[in-house]
Amino acid sequence: MVRYSKIFIHIFIFTFLINNLCSGKDISVCSVRGYKTVKSALENSSDGDRIIIKKGYYRENNIIVDKRVQILGEDNPVIDLEFINQGFIVRKDSVIIRGLEIRNIKVSYVQDLSAIKIENSSGCTVENNILYNTFFALYLANSDNCLVKGNKITGFAQTESSSGNGIHLWKCNNIRIESNETSGHRDGIYFEFVTNTRILNNYSHNNLRYGLHFMFSDSNSYMKNLFSENGAGVAVMYTKNIIMEENIFTGNWGPASYGILLKDISRSVIRRNKFIKNTIGIFMEGSDKMNIEENEFRDNGYAVKVFGNCSSDTLIRNNFIGNTFDISTNSSRNENYYSENYWDKYKGYDMNKDYTGDVPYRPVSLYSMLVEKVPESIIMMRSFITDIIDFTEKAIPVFIPESLVDEKPKMILNEYN
């Protein structure tokens, strides 16, 4: 009998926990019935509750979320911050914010005012929100295991000093950023001291500085994103172990515009990306042990610009088509490896029909080195004299790096299966 009593007690405790901790109640926020503000609904909520915000227009700011709740909008209710303070500040694990439109964040030079800020929390989700006219839009600080998905983020930044970032991560781990659209900010997406994070299927465009910016952020990946018409596409700085695959970098034009800017980065992979109509496809400074493979460089000013302090980098099975300069360098030495690339400027032959050129190809032109030293010489482009200079230098290399050569240039475009 005692044994059965203990069993019933355990069942009672388990049922109590299920009913009171694992489930919650629905709390309605509506201008005509129920709670009139999100703040009042939060004050009367408990862990596990769902706060459902009905379609409407709500003027609120500084909404502290310190309970494990879901905040769900019906038909994208508008939370207007009226340029006062900021929006939601999340300080609890496992919070979900979905289906809201948050707008009108003021510019601040002393605070990182945000539409949604997640601080010291784990397992939170920010999904399918519209963030409009924002300073910082989504800001995650010292948080982990969060999902940021399907948000449309629009800012109207005028200068870098007076603007924030669309999605900003500081000291975070294992974040998934997926299918968001960011525009009109300083950086579309910004990482600082971030690890093990995945950026997938985002569209970052028309940002003042970078579509995506890494600083001191190791072991991350970004894949299948589109970076278009930013000041520059992506900057990866002081970082290692980054996977960059199947992205598109296009329309990043300007005096210092790049598809990708690599600064002091190592042991990373750039694979199967498309660089189309950028001032510079990839700019590399102080970068080593990079694998750049199976990418397409088409109609760029410079396809790849490699500074002399780069070493042990591999460029293999890439396609270079319609670029003004395919490879440019500021040094007469080369410590990198080039092989099996397709160069549309290659004039060699293939006697044994194995689709590999029988004559090695030197992709650096003397004219590109002249432009590097004397930018004003760009006015000589496509003139007869530059053709003579380049032809002579390729026949008897003196100034261009003698070892910068593709020994196995492909005669047909590389196909990436």
Residue count of the chain = 417
> Average pLDDT for consecutive 10-residue bins of the chain (417 residues)?
47 43 79 88 95 95 96 96 95 97 90 95 98 96 98 92 93 98 96 97 96 96 96 95 97 83 96 96 96 97 92 96 91 88 91 89 70 53 53 54 86 84
Cα–Cα distance for residue pair 300/320, rounded to 1 Å: 9
pLDDT at 403: 77
Backbone angles phi, psi at 139, to 5 degrees: -130, 115
Residue in this structure with the two tokens 């992709």, named with its chain if needed: 363
| Superfamily in which the 55-395 domain is placed by CATH | Single-stranded right-handed beta-helix, Pectin lyase-like (2.160.20.10)
- In this structure, how many other beta carbons lie within 10 angstroms of the beta carbon of residue 49? 20
Could you tell me the CA-to-CA distances from 120 to 39, 102, 112, 171, 323 in Å, in that order?
A: 21, 22, 16, 10, 47
128 sits in the region (left: phi over 0; alpha: psi -120 to 50; else beta) called: left
Supply 12's token pair.
Answer: 């009672």
Backbone angles phi, psi at 394, to 5 degrees: -70, -35
pLDDT at 271: 97
- In this structure, how many other beta carbons lie within 10 angstroms of the beta carbon of residue 359? 12
pLDDT at 239: 96
Cα–Cα distance for residue pair 241/194, rounded to 1 Å: 12
Residue in this structure with the two tokens 């002399």, named with its chain if needed: 308
pLDDT at 49: 96
**What is the pairing mode between strands 302-306 and 325-329?**
parallel
SS3 59: strand
- In this structure, how many other beta carbons lie within 10 angstroms of the beta carbon of residue 65? 23
pLDDT at 376: 47
Supply 340's token pair.
Answer: 């099996």
pLDDT at 180: 98
